[in-house]
Amino acid sequence: MPSREEVLRSLYGAWRLAWLDRSGMSYFDLTVEGFWRSFFAAILVAPGYALLVAQKLLGRPEEFSALWAFLVESTAYVVGWAAFPVVAIGLTQVLGLGRNYSALIIAANWAAVIQIAAFLVAVGAAFVAPPLGSLLVTLVTGAILFYQWFVVRTALQTTGGLALAVVLVDLLVNTAINLSAERLL
């Protein structure tokens, strides 16, 4: 488990990356231990994810089992956090970027906290002012994808095209997980 200082330093690094400042990478612990501790970000993201799931489920017209929904969504959450690191092992090797694999996962994990915070603000705005909020959700989604691209490009120290390919693979993997979970509900 990371120390409070490491969490704050890592979140600041993710924040710097959100402002397109490549030096944000210097705030991450890029060691093997830092790699494993970066998954603590999943704990920080979980409450926001739970709010989004609750909003989705409460908007469903048909009835559902709360226990079943909890099991499905919890499993999807864990699988989602594990899937990209597993896929990225092979992907970074194929792309000749394996030397930066750990930096990619560390940066992506901490960046997820910034992403969920931004998305929750957009969803909250959509709830308060639906027409403008929907536009904001769309814009924030685009900004999050751009942010992911910048994080991937910076962490992997690669070209924009290869970073885009990695982001698209991540998007496809997460979409498949989410669609699978949705079918089970």
Cβ 136 vs Cβ 126: under 8 Å: yes
For every one of its 185 residues, what pLDDT tens digit does the chain have, with 9 covering 90 and above? 999 999 999 999 999 999 999 999 999 999 999 999 999 999 999 999 999 999 888 877 778 888 898 999 999 999 999 999 999 999 999 999 999 999 999 999 999 999 999 999 999 988 888 888 889 999 999 999 999 999 999 999 999 999 999 999 999 999 999 999 999 98
Tokens 């600041």 locate to 12
Tell whether the torsion through CA atoms of 96, 39, 2 and 20 is positive or negative.
positive
User: Distance (Å, rounded) from C-alpha 96 to C-alpha 93?
Assistant: 5
- Collapse the DSSP code of 55 into the 3-class scheme (helix H, G, I; strand E, B; otherwise coil) and give the result: helix
Q: Where are the beta strands (DSSP E) in the chain?
A: none
DSSP state of 159: -
| Residue-range domain boundaries for the chain | 4-184
pTM: 0.94
